[in-house]
Amino acid sequence: MFTLPETRFDFGGDEYIYAEISRDMSAESNFKALAIVNELRERNIPGIVDIVPSNASYLVRYNPEILSPRDLLDYLKEIDITKSDPAELNLSIRMVEIPTWYDDPVSRQYSERFKNRHQEPTLSNFEFAMKANGFTDKEAFIEAHSRMPNLITMVGFLPGTAWGFPLGLEPGEIIQTPKYLSPRTHTPRQGVGIGGAFTVVYPVNGTGSYQLIGMSAVPVYDADKRLIDLEDTYFLARPGDLWKHRPIDEREYNQIVAEVEQGTYRYHMKQIDFSPQEYVIKGKAYIQELMEGF
C-alpha cells in the first residue's frame, strides 16, 4: 500500500512549528498537508494562532502562554500518523474555470518592455515557453497547458496569489519554464505566468518573474466585492482548488471582462469530493472522470 513519508518537525523560535512532509513537491504530499491543516482547524485547539499550508509542508503559529510547544508537537504527530495513508485524505474541494486568452497583446507588450531582464530578449514570453518545452505549434502548446487542471497548492506572496501544480500528467508532459533572470518591476493584473512547473494568475499589478503566456479574463482578487461568487471573500483561491484554464479568443475575453465590470459574471465552478487514493491509483483517468460535464 502506498504511504507518505514521515513528516519532519522543526521549532521556529518560540511561536512556530514547521512541518516538512517532503523535500520535493508532489501532489500526494500537498494532499497530506491540506488534510492535516483541515483537521487542525476542525479541532480548534486553544492556543493555535494560525495554520498555513504550503507545497509540501505547513507552518503552525501558536501562543506559548496557552499551548506548550511539546503538547502541540504531540498533537501534530498524532494527526500526521492518521494522514499518511491516501485512503484517509478525502477532500471536499472545488473545480474552477479560468478563461484565458493565450499569447495576447498585453503579455507580448510586457515581454518587449522587460526584454533586458530576460534570457532570450528576441522572444516573447509565450514563444520562450514554447521553445523551452519543445513546441513549435502554438495551438499544441496551449492544449498541453490547458488540458488538465492545476492543483492550488498554496496561496501567498501578493494578496490572492495562488500556485497551481498540474495534475494527471507524467513528468515529461508537464509544462515548465525558468523564471526571468531579473524580476520585472511591473506585471499586469490577471496576467497568467509560468515559473518552474507552477502556473499563477497575478492578482494585482506588481513585480514578478514568471513567464507571461496570457491573460485571465476573470479576477482572482476582488477588492470592491462586485462579484456574487466573491461576496464573502476578496480572494478566489482556496488551497486544494482545481483550476482549469480554458482557452478563449479576443471576442470572448472582452465579453467576459465586460460582465466582470458590470458585476454580472458568475464563475464556472463545481464542488467535488476528491479521493487522493483514487488519484494515486488511476492518475490522469481519475482527473478526466472529475472533469466530465465541466
CATH architecture, domain defined by 92-291: Beta Barrel (2.40)
Beta strands in the chain (DSSP E): 8-12, 16-20, 48-53, 57-62, 91-102, 150-156, 161-166, 184-187, 191-195, 198-201, 206-208, 211-216, 242-247, 269-274
Residue 53 has what pLDDT?
86
Mean pLDDT (whole number) for 213-240: 93
Residue 10 has pLDDT above 50, yes or no: yes
Residue 26 has pLDDT above 90, yes or no: no
Average pLDDT, the chain: 92
* pTM of the predicted protein model: 0.90
Q: In what helix (H) or strand (E) does residue 272 lie, and over which residues does it extend?
A: strand 269-274
User: What's the CA angle centered on 152, arms 151 and 156, to 5 degrees?
Assistant: 160
Give the separation between CA 143 and CA 140, rounded to whole angstroms. Answer: 5
Q: Where are the domains of the chain?
A: 8-88, 92-291
For the chain, the maximum distance between any two Cα atoms, rounded to a whole number of angstroms, is: 60
Give the separation between CA 185 and CA 25, rounded to whole angstroms. Answer: 28
Residue 2 has what pLDDT?
54
Residue 1 has what pLDDT?
46
Q: What is the pLDDT of residues 124-164, one digit of tens each?
A: 999 999 999 999 999 999 999 999 999 999 888 777 899 99
Confidence of residue 171 (pLDDT cuts 50, 70, 90): confident
Mean pLDDT (whole number) for 42-67: 92
DSSP secondary structure letter of residue 171 = G
User: What's the CA angle centered on 38, arms 33 and 42, to 5 degrees?
Assistant: 150
In angstroms and rounded to an integer, the radius of gyration of the C-alpha atoms of the chain is 20
Q: 2.70.170.10, 3.30.1360.40, 3.40.50.300, 3.10.20.30: which CATH number matches 8-88?
A: 3.30.1360.40
